[in-house]
A = this chain, B = another copy of it.
């Protein structure tokens, strides 16, 4: 277990028990949640701490798995009751998913409290939870982190806009998928949508396009990060969180928040996400080596290099 005081990155998000059906398989009660995917992905680059909540039914095997990744769990509360559960089904093309069930359980009353050692971490990723809770975390920081990234979702854009606006003004980077970017800004064109996001405060807007990669916008222009082309994958769940976690981990490892460093970190996040989707849950990341990640990153570089 990493000692808390060396933690470079904290990730606040959900921990869930997922049931997932794809055209080829169905898996019940597997570990999921943005904090699980994000921390596991980040753990290949830096000591990372998880902030979240689970119920008293949370299996020891999943805690053991977190320990194998070296994830610090001082910020993972255990509350009486059941862990957050989600169930979804992917259609034939895997880019369209339907939620069958969402049981918030202990997540409904979640109030993230940062362990003392997390209040000075230089890198903070506020994964998708309510913007009020994201603000509550930010307020607990005793020093302004070097870099704060926030994710959100359509629900909060819809029902918690004032808090979300307040949050967006205080982060360095806001990440959204295409439809969220359009919903937040009212702009269909992603370049124009990103420009509106930047006008809300952040230095960077990172728009995720799933299997079509991602775009980083800043006043320096645009960076285009394609997705790594895979011959097969099992489960797209958590791809965006693995991407974001790998990105923040790589960024924290380099301790440089200039645009070139962000681009390199996006490449690494994209590689980690490409591994994550090859299997369900954290199964592919479990046992993955940094060497395998670096090898695929080098292979990726050859795929985007114009001769």
Contact = CB atoms under 8 A, between A and B. Distances in A.
Interface centre among A209, A224, A259, A302 (most CB of B within 10 A): A224
B261 A304 contact: no
A223 B303 contact: yes
A247 to B, nearest CB: 13
Interface in A268-307: 301-307
A99 interface: no
A203 to B, nearest CB: 15
Contact of A188 (B92, B258, B260, B263): B92
B307 A259 contact: yes
A169 interface: no
Interface stretch (A116-124, A128-136, A225-233): A225-233
Interface string A200-224: 0000000001001101000001111
A202 to B, nearest CB: 18
- In the complex, the count of this chain's copies comes to 2
A8 interface: no
Nearest to A190: B229
Given A229-B191, A229-B222, A307-B263, A212 B212 contact: yes
Given A209-B212, A229-B215, A303 B189 contact: no
A191 B233 CA distance: 12
Interface in A218-261: 221-224, 226, 229-232, 258-261
